[in-house]
Structure 1
Amino acid sequence: MLFQVNHQPAYCYTGSKPLQPNLPTLVFIHGAQTDHSVWALQSRYFAHHGFNVLALDLPGHGRSLGAALTNVEDMAHWIIALLDAAQIAQASLIGHSMGSLIALEAARIAPTRISKLALLGNAYPMKVADALLTMAHDDEPGAIELVTTWSHLNATQQTAIPGFSLQGSARRLMQRMSAINPAQLFHTDFSACNNYQQGELAAQAITAQQLPVLFVMAKQDRMTPTKASAALRSSIVHAKTVEIDQCGHSLMTEQPDAVLNALKQFLNQSH
């Protein structure tokens, strides 16, 4: 489904379902150099089980047009503008990695528009190593290879689909994002993560509003290890945390059922 957000087409996967005003809405926010497809299993499930789903492509990613936004704050304002365009008064936000920062910031700037937050693969601050920032700027193909390796538990991990490679699929998705938007997209996204500094204020707004919050962390995550979110998690004292074993940063594809189960339990709770 296409919406007009800030005078540009914005694509959201809805599970082939029309939006219904009487249903709760879930907004799925992808991470750096990816698009809505990273949420394939989770978004489709909820679209067919009583929720409106907006699995979005951020500007400059996937099917959404316009230049990639350069900071998390602007991305969060874009999320609120998307809700306006879709005529959604309030939604739960589910964000992965960079998307978790965007969800966090959206809760800071518009807490009454958010009903719940699920933050996957989160770190705050989300500092990116100088060497990786430089590689993303000067050698994007090399950065894609490095991140592909570091985001997965191992190269030979088996899936339910014979012959299907999780690393190969992730690599190809990031390569496709480069082809769609050749303007150093990876560096733009990484820089936005690296520069975001509003996490403490967001935690205060979330606590004041008593927004339900779930952190979903991967025990073997080398990109955003569990300790990297410890301070933020402790500052949101009512937040819940689920740790998933046998997966790295790409937890939605490495352990899709475990992620789905964590989200189902959280999102189906009445408060």
Structure 2
Amino acid sequence: MFGIYSIFDEYKRRGEVQVPYVTVSGISIYVESTIGNSLPIVFVHGAGGSSKSWSEQLVSDSQYNSWALDLPGHGKSEGSLLSNIKDMAEFINDFIKALTLEKFVLVGHSMGGAIVQEFALQYPEKLRGLVLIATGARLKVSKGVLSTLATGNMPFKDVNHLYGSSTSDDKREEAMWEMNEISPTVYWADFEACNKFDRVLSVGKIKVPSLIIVGDEDVMTPLKYSQFLSSNLPNSQLRIIKGAGHMCMLEKPTEVTTELERFIRNCVD
């Protein structure tokens, strides 16, 4: 019904939960996935991120067929870093072709939100719905951050810019350790792509049903970014997560997942 691809059926037959790698344009791409019986969902991570960003949404008892990939040059995926959002959206299209999905919901966080906006502008006929988490139609990055990353150094001394007041010190320490494991080159390439992204004048052309989610304490993509999207996307709804920052899907997983599942049920109806 929803174009589930044959290789995934084979993994399901064998009782396996994950399809660990998918070959896309000759590149081995790492994927976290869940088996369900409903509408397919594809998750796209943000700058410097990976499929780990969706660990709270990709649970074993999920009723959905879900895929969260590591973009090229990220996480466990092979390939070179992509230099702009348009190329990233084209890569997602190639990824979708590799899975042979026909209609699905596309979910993006931060830079991933820019990618899925671009995808929606180019391939609206492929989408059943769009979820934009902690993102904007324009994602400017400070010159100071870019110049520091360009020298091979990390500009962030902590992760307070990513997490809201409800996040524990232990979780912040773990997040800081994970951030330091990622090369500044990856962050630089991603932030450069974000800095060049600007769909302010064309985002209103997206007619696909859209859910916009943002933490009320997000300082990276403040509430006004999501309010702009909500005002300009003609078929959208805005949900604000209290006490959460930029990583709201990890900080407040129950609230975010509840909103996501409610939206997806409406996309199926």
The alignment's TM-score, normalised by the length of structure 2, stands at 0.86
1:152 and 1:139 map into 2 onto residues whose CA distance is 24
2:53 matched residue in structure 1: 38
3-state SS, counterpart of residue 86 of structure 2: helix
CA distance in 2 between partners of 1:251 and 1:166 (Å): 13
Is 1:7–2:26 an aligned residue pair? yes
Q: 1:198 & 1:228 partners in 2: Cα distance?
A: 12
Query: 8 Å contact 2:213–2:226 — kept in the other structure?
Result: no
Indicate the residue corresponding to 1:24 in structure 2: 39
Report the counterpart of residue 212 of structure 2 in structure 1.
215
Hey, what does 1:103 align to over in structure 2?
A: 116
Q: Is the 8 A contact 1:76 1:102 kept in 2?
A: yes
Q: Which residue of the partner structure matches residue 83 of structure 1?
A: 96
In structure 2, how many angstroms separate the alpha carbons of the residues matched to 1:202 and 1:10? 29
Tell me the number of residue pairs that the alignment of Structure 1 and Structure 2 aligns: 249
Hey, what does 2:138 align to over in structure 1? 125
Question: What is the distance in 2 between the residues matched to 1:199 and 1:42?
Answer: 29
Deviations 1:226-270 (A, max 9, x none): 112333321113210000111111111111111111111111113
TM-score, normalised to structure 1, is: 0.86
**Shift of residue 213, structure 1, vs aligned partner:** 0.1
CA contact (8 A) 1:137 1:186 kept: no
The alpha-carbon deviation at position 198 of structure 1 amounts to 3.3
- The structure richer in helix per residue is 1
Whole-angstrom CA distance in 1 between matches of 2:251 and 2:82: 28
Match of 1:176 among 181, 200, 204: 181
Name structure 2 gaps, 5 residues minimum. 1-19
Alignment of 1:243 onto 2:240: yes
Q: After the TM superposition, which residues 45-84 of structure 1 pair with which residues of structure 2 at under 5 Å, given as runs?
A: 48-84=61-97
Structure 1 residue 115 and structure 2 residue 116: aligned? no
Cα distance in 2 for partners of 1:51, 1:186 equals 31
- Which 5+ residue runs of structure 1 have no aligned equivalent? 159-163
**Is this contact kept in 1: 2:56–2:253, CA < 8 A?**
yes
In structure 2, the partner of 1:161 is none
Pairwise CA RMSD:
1.9
